[in-house]
Amino acid sequence: MLHGYDSIILGIVEGLTEFLPVSSTGHMILTNQLLGYGQSTPDELKSFEVVIQFAAILAIAIVYWRRILQVLGFKGIETAKGLSVQSLPKRRMNLIHVLLGIVPPLAVAFLFRHPIKDLGFSTAPVLWALVVGGIYMWIAEALYDSGKIKRTSETLDDITYKQALIIGLIQCVSVWPGFSRSGSTIAGGMLAGLSYRASADFSFFIAIPIMTAATGYELLDNLEQFRSGAIDVGFLVTGFIVSFAVAWIVVVGFLKVLQKIKLRYFAWYRFVLAALFYWFIMR
């Protein structure tokens, strides 16, 4: 049975963690444990998670709405901002870049969806993923800061097809709950030669189609719950509003202070979270 304040708690957790390199799926699983739902998530909660994830998608889509229209081929967006045709970059991020970044992880997620659900959505694998993902992020940033990786792409429009594909392939590991989609793509982008800002921008942008596909699949899978009205509308609306507001604030705020926040800080957070959860909950 779902409780009233759970919608606020879960909405905050989803909004805070969806786009940061800490794994929203992992945090939702751990939060469900703390709220007493255990590993057998109620059907109502699965439907609720679909709703709050859609709210997070909407928040990121609003942040990047101009870029979305540009990638889809709508013209006049830049000139509407006061830019001349001559000032526009010759190479632009386009739909091919996006497809190269999203097809590999979506294919892996679809092919292995049943093993992932059967084995991955429990506490121990999530804690391991938090640690392994943190180590990966730490190493990627260390290599990036050492100057051993040549930085060739400062903005989204500098990204090559090869770099987009590398990020898409690396992102496949994010199907492991707890590893983090944004963590894998931001660190992967840095390893591929993107700047920290371009890596984060590309990570957030390709999250829109990936999350839309994942949420759409889960919506179809839980459609009967919505039809039957098994979950309270007020519970859904509250979670949606909270998740949307928090996700929007997190993305805008993260992009503003991006250069001051190192990946290693998120890695430390992941290590501490895994250790605390293991010590106080699993022992």
pLDDT tens digits for 220-274?
776 776 666 666 777 788 889 999 999 999 999 988 887 788 899 999 999 999 9
**Residues linked to residue 194 through DSSP beta bridges, in sequence order:** 153
Confidence of residue 186 (pLDDT cuts 50, 70, 90): very high
The model's confidence at residue 4, banded by pLDDT at 50, 70 and 90, is low
280 phi/psi in degrees, rounded to 5: -95, -20
Cβ burial, residue 59 (10 Å; 0-12/13-18/19+): buried
Q: Do residues 191 and 140 lie in contact, with contact meaning Cβ atoms separated by under 8 Å?
A: yes
What is the average pLDDT score of the chain?
Answer: 85
- For residue range 67-113, list pLDDT tens digits in order: 999 898 876 655 445 444 444 455 689 999 999 999 999 999 889 87
The count of other CB atoms within 10 Å of the CB of residue 5 is 10
**How would you classify residue 75: left for phi > 0, otherwise alpha for psi between -120 and 50, otherwise beta?**
beta
List CB contacts of 109: < 8 A, sequence separation 6 or more.
116, 175, 214
Q: Which pLDDT value is given to residue 93? A: 92
Position 69 scores a pLDDT of 92
Report pLDDT digits (tens) over 5-59: 888 999 999 999 988 999 988 898 888 888 877 655 556 676 778 888 889 999 9
CA 26 from chain center: how many Å?
A: 11
Query: To the nearest 5 percent, what fractions of the chain are helix, strand and coil?
Result: 75, 0, 25
The answer to whether the beta carbons of residues 240 and 52 sit under 8 Å apart is yes
Confidence (pLDDT) at 12: 94
User: What are the φ/ψ torsions at residue 229 (nearest 5 degrees)?
Assistant: 70, 30
User: Taking a C-beta distance cutoff of 8 angstroms, is the pair 2, 42 a contact?
Assistant: yes
pLDDT digits (tens, 9 = 90+) for 210-223: 989 888 887 777 67
What is the distance between the alpha carbons of residues 61 and 204, in angstroms, rounded to a whole number? 9
Tokens coding 190: 């840095």
pLDDT at 83: 42
Residue of higher predicted confidence among 256 and 201: 201
Tell me what pLDDT residue 274 has: 94
> Tens of pLDDT along 157-166?
999 999 999 9
**Number of Cβ atoms within 10 Å of the Cβ of 182:** 25
Which residue, among 263, 262, 250, has the nearest Cα to 133 in the 3D structure?
263
